[in-house]
Amino acid sequence: MTTTELDRVPEVAPRDYGSPLASKLEHLWATKPGIVGWLGSVDHKEIGLRYIVTAFVFLLVGGLEALVFRIQLAWPNQHLLSPAQYDQLFSMHGATMILWYAFPVLTGFSVYLQPLVLGTRDMAMPRLNAFTYWVYLFSGLYLYVGLALGSAPNAGWFNYVPYASRPYNPGLNIDFYALANILLGISTTLGSLNFVVTILHQRAPGMSINRMPILSWGTLTISVGNLFAMPSVTLAFFFLWLDRQFGTHFYDPPSGQPLLWQHLFWMWGHPWVYVIVLPALSMVSEALPVLCRRPLVGYTAVALATVLTMVLGFGVWLHHMFATGLPNIALAFFSAVSLFIVIPSAVSNFAWLATIWTGRPVFNTAFLFFVGFIVVFVIGGVSGFMTGSVPADWQLTDTYFVVAHIHYVLIGWNLFAVMGASYFWFPKMFGRMLDEHLGRWNFWLMFIGFNVGFFPMHITGLLGMPRRVYTYPDGMGWDTLNLIITIGSYVMAAGMLLFIVNVFYSLRRGVVAGPNPWDAATLEWSTPSPPPPYNFVVIPTLASRTPLWEDRLDEGPYRSELNEGMPLDHGKEVLGTSSLDAQPNVILRMPEDSLVPLFFALVLTLLFAGLIVKFWWLVVTCIGAGLLLQLIWLWPRSELRERRP
Amino acid sequence: MSTVVAVSRRSLPVGSVGAHAIGWWGMVCAVLTEAALFGYLLFSYFYFAIQPRQMAFPPQLPPLWLAAPNTVILLASSVAVWQGERGARRDSRARQVIGLGVGFALGVVFVGIQLLEWHSQPFGLSSNAYGSLFFTVTGFHMAHVILGLLILLSLTIWSALGYFDRYYSAPISIGVIYWHFVDAVWLAVFFSFYITPYLGLRHGP
């Protein structure tokens, strides 16, 4: 190893996780012990788990908020919460679930799994990965500081003006929401950028784009989608903050346009719906076939349908605004696209059904969650199809029918898939299986609780119950249904509680999993469980989509090379490959652990704290400190081969 | 019979090399998302401009005597940094430092003239919707120019320190992509705010 090495003919070493090579890689890649090492870790597995755990904490908090206001709504004329408290609580519930749980949990799975399924050793930008996690965490804390100060968002999660404008909402509530969202938007955008680069540049040799796991198709699609969608909402919130604090006139009449908020919000908001479900769908497409003991039916169709859904998702935002008095031609066009998008969504659905039909299903908890997911997916899809039609939407908009629809979509398409994925990948992450007996109870309580809790909302909606009301009079015909809804929500919460019990129980007592407990086909199962810090002792070379099933499926003359490959041990190194064919084209140097991402995230958060209280000296100081940290971060380093030695 | 595929034994470059560098890919993605941001900013402008109830456009057409030469200056800076990048590729330290340095200087001139332009406007950020949009959109662009200037300054200093040569020039290429983007976006902003009113976008008083 010389410091002036410009090119290298890679060696080839055997795969042996007990070899001196493995201990050398362990030394190179392992996070240093102690609190400083922990805070500075850039290991994608470590960061992925932090994302997942943090997102689950937000899920529990958001769930508790819902349980509180479900007591209020269980009977008519309740006054447990004042209207103002109710407004904050339901707004926080929506914001927490949609923004701080639903996407970050999928990001967590992607951060953990993508380098493993792609056959590489880390994300393309490991320090950026650590940074995006910290910013995500701090943005959530920022929002909850608002709640602690009694200034939580109170205009619903989509925060329409003029109600969110300063004359009608003078506190800092909306400002906390706006700035927390901008902070989170930074994290989401940079995280997506990291996924795009990782997936297009670091796949194992031979993993051409048509051999990429369907899991990566989901993450790649929504990450590209985020790059184009996120600026819209960030800008919408920035305009709102300027309007509220600096007297600009973006949204306030006569010269401003209140409807601009809805456009900018939903131009992000509808793509976002697909952003928070497509990776979940692709987790099902990845794991369900393993449990059916066969490859996914219609890989190409599912991959293309995933991309098409995302593309169409950019052309349907107006269906959230059917009741705002838009021209008929716009209504007709957006209604047509909204109905058309059912087709690519249904492709995945039929692919799963065909996979189950033609496979030999293993009826375990993960499988149950995936099947439950499919059932709920269809119900949520149909109610979405109904509201995609303009006349139906005019009846249903702002009623509980829409609340039912959004929960069938978000819980059904996201949470059930995440639960199944947790049962499926937990053994890889921790080396132990989740308990099956508790798992069955977990599933049935959640599935029954969910349907009892949310299906009746369709009916209360059809009976005319408006959403967002803090209480309602009796004699409207809504009483019994609302009591049933509250009971259902508590049953579902009990199921969720069992999941947490199961996690803590199985971490200690679970059955030891081994590298591949499900006898699955993809690369992550060729590593030990949990995987070592360097993931792969030698880089595998692929010849198919299902490297671990090749002998069994016997689809072609070529077999993947998993037993030997490049060791890449002259430092923290990974292989860069071409985007379509995955031919090796560069050996990349990866950065060491670093505290700079944490400090930079802290400085950024402090800057946002300065903005809300208008401490301009703090803002200026933070900008200076941030630029200094950027200079340290980006200073060309010879060990990363960014400058002449 | 099945054959196990062979592990590639081609000689590979090591490190951040041209378009294989992670940073190059990262910058391309960053430029895409930034371009989308300006797309939404200009969407907002045109959204206002086509409303039946007009936002208050200023009474006179936008003056071009500062903005038009300033556009030329910014484009010239792109040519300069392009020369700097070529200098790095050809191992010419002088050309590298001069190209980046001149690009930086022209960028600073652009900022100065833009500040004059802001100062000469009869409306302010909070006068009306047009003022809010004008200052927010050009302000966003200005923030990008300043970030680009900090990047060019760092690159100029690093070049002077002799960090880069033919093989190690990825940071220059990456920074230069950003600068070209900042210039290209200005063309879109300039066209929207300064040219479209002459083409008839502005209606009514």
What domains lie within chain A, and their CATH numbers? 45-387 (1.20.210.10)
Percent of chain A clearing pLDDT 90 (strictly above): 94
Q: Does B174 touch chain A (CB under 8 A)?
A: no
pLDDT over threshold 50, residue A1: no
Q: How far apart are CA A291 and CA A359, in angstroms?
A: 9
A156: left (phi over 0), alpha (psi -120 to 50) or beta: left
DSSP state at residue B6: P
Given this model, what pLDDT does residue A2 score? Answer: 46
Q: Contacts of residue B128 in chain A, CB cutoff 8 Å?
A: 249, 255
The four Cα atoms B19, B23, B29, B30 give a dihedral, to 10 degrees, of -140
Type of residue at A10: P
Tens of pLDDT, residue by residue over A471-484, are 999 999 999 999 99
| Cβ contact, residue pair B171, A636, below 8 Å | yes
Distance from CA of A54 to the nearest CA of B (A): 26
Q: How far apart are CA A609 and CA A236, in angstroms?
A: 20
Q: How far apart are CA A373 and CA A385, in angstroms?
A: 18
φ and ψ at residue A345, rounded to 5 degrees: -65, -40
- Mean pLDDT value of segment A220-245: 97
Q: Which two tokens stand for residue A208?
A: 């051409």
Q: How would you classify the pairing of strands A561-566 and A558-559? A: unpaired
Tens of pLDDT, residue by residue over A101-120, are 999 999 999 999 999 999 99
- Mean pLDDT value of segment A533-541: 96
- Mean pLDDT value of segment A404-416: 95
B/e letters for A100-139, b = 16+ CB within 10 Å, e = fewer, are: bbbbbbbbbbbbbbbbbbbbbbbbbbbbbbbbbbbbbbbb
Mutation to test the A interface, candidates B17, B27, B29, B159, most A Cβ within 10 Å:
B29
pLDDT over threshold 90, residue A639: no
Given this model, what pLDDT does residue B126 score? Answer: 92
Mutation to test the B interface, candidates A3, A7, A252, A264, most B Cβ within 10 Å:
A7
Contacts of A300 (CB under 8 A, 6+ apart): A210
Tens of pLDDT, residue by residue over A422-442, are 999 999 999 999 999 999 999
Contact present, A478 and A465 (Cβ < 8 Å) = yes
Q: Does A579 touch chain B (CB under 8 A)?
A: no
The CATH number of B18-49+64-195, from 2.20.25.10, 3.40.50.10740, 1.10.3720.10, 1.20.120.80, is 1.20.120.80
Q: Which two tokens stand for residue B191?
A: 């066209």
pLDDT over threshold 70, residue B1: no
Radius of gyration of chain B (CA): 21
pLDDT over threshold 90, residue A96: yes
Q: Contacts of residue A230 in chain B, CB cutoff 8 Å?
A: 33, 36
Q: Could you tell me the pTM of the whole model?
A: 0.96
Domain ranges of chain B: 18-49+64-195
Percent of chain B clearing pLDDT 90 (strictly above): 77
Q: How would you classify the pairing of strands A584-589 and A573-577? A: antiparallel
Q: How far apart are CA A627 and CA A130, in angstroms?
A: 18
B162: left (phi over 0), alpha (psi -120 to 50) or beta: left
Measured on CA atoms in the order A293, A298, A303, A305, is the torsion positive or negative?
negative
Contact present, A386 and A392 (Cβ < 8 Å) = yes
pLDDT over threshold 60, residue B202: yes
Tens of pLDDT, residue by residue over A126-158, are 999 999 999 999 999 999 999 999 999 999 999
Type of residue at B7: V
DSSP state at residue B49: H
- Return residues 154-173 of B near A (CB < 8 Å): 154, 158, 162-165, 167-168, 170-171
pLDDT greater at residue B93 or residue A1: B93
| Cβ contact, residue pair B136, A559, below 8 Å | no
pLDDT grade for A4, boundaries at 50, 70 and 90: low
A6: left (phi over 0), alpha (psi -120 to 50) or beta: alpha
Given this model, what pLDDT does residue B203 score? Answer: 56
Percent of chain A clearing pLDDT 70 (strictly above): 99
